[in-house]
Amino acid sequence: MKLLRYGPKGQEKPGLVDAGGQIRDLSHHVPDIAGDVLSPAGLAAIAALDIASLPPVEGSPRIGPCVGRVGKFLCIGLNFADHARETGKEPPSEPVVFAKAVSAICGPNDDVEIPRGSDRTDWEVEMGVVIGSRAKYISEAEAMDHVAGFCLINDLSERRFQSERGGQWTKGKSHDTFGPIGPWLVTRDEIADVQDLDMWLDVDGERRQTGNTGTMIFGVAELVSYLSQFMTLEPGDVISSGTPPGVGLGMKPPTFLREGQVVRLGISGLGEQRQTMVQA
């Protein structure tokens, strides 16, 4: 299934994309794409509905973040060896973990703000992993049973804030709109091999990033198990799993986003995003 949330910011309703690409309203069956709705039982209940009987959503509504009430927005740094090297770092021996503020989350096609005082706002196409059931001290073999599905994420960064303003990555990762997620959450059963999905990102029509989830240093199951050793993962938590090479920081010379530029990105099976850069 492809689950999404649509409508004005803060008033999103739950929906489902049918086989013909039509958005169907789920609001009479579930309160949101969040919490226990993401559990195996919750997803099974949605899958059992007669999709054709769900009301179609007319027009072209705004698409919101595909997960509501996200508790934790966790990110994995330097998870592609060639990306690590382009930033001047060696590939890590275990996952590099940091957090984005959940207030950074926005819809997949919402405008992205360049922070005040920023001169190094950068792009990063990433695959998101959405937790569906509580996970604590789980093994790698158990990990995928706790995953509801996957989504597309642009893990935007302000590189100067990230690296030169006191040593913590979070402040360079958490500006409002620095976490577009969606357009939809694709449930686990629809993805044949999560470690074989093509990734891409364009800036003003020029290809900047090309990659595949198969070249991740730490795969999805390993990441979910690893994180569960340090914290309890709850339904609706989102893990952004790392970016392939081609970020602005790694270009020669380094190149960053400017007001008015348009970023498009996608991952096979997970949809596409489009954002226009605006000044905060």
**Per-residue model confidence as pLDDT tens digits over 215-272:** 999 999 999 999 999 999 999 999 999 999 999 999 999 999 999 999 999 999 999 9
105, 179 Cβ separation under 8 angstroms: yes
pLDDT higher for 178 or 86? 178
Element (H, E) at 93: none
87-118: per-residue pLDDT in tens?
Answer: 777 888 999 999 999 999 999 999 999 999 99
Residues 204-223 have pLDDT tens digits of: 999 999 999 999 999 999 99
Q: Is the pLDDT of residue 129 over 90?
A: yes
2-6 β-sheet, strand order: 23-25, 13-17, 2-6, 185-187, 147-154, 125-131, 238-240, 73-77, 96-99
Contacting residues for 228 by C-beta, under 8 A, at least 6 apart: 135, 136, 137, 138, 143, 146
Q: What share of the chain is helix, strand, coil (3-state, %, to 5)?
A: 20, 30, 45
Q: What integer best gives the mean pLDDT of the chain?
A: 96
161 pLDDT exceeds 80? yes
Mean pLDDT value of segment 19-36:
97
The structure tokens 């029509």 sit at: 205
Domains, the chain: 2-53 (no CATH), 73-279 (3.90.850.10)
Q: Does pLDDT of 138 surpass 80? A: yes
**Is residue 63 predicted with pLDDT exceeding 90?**
yes
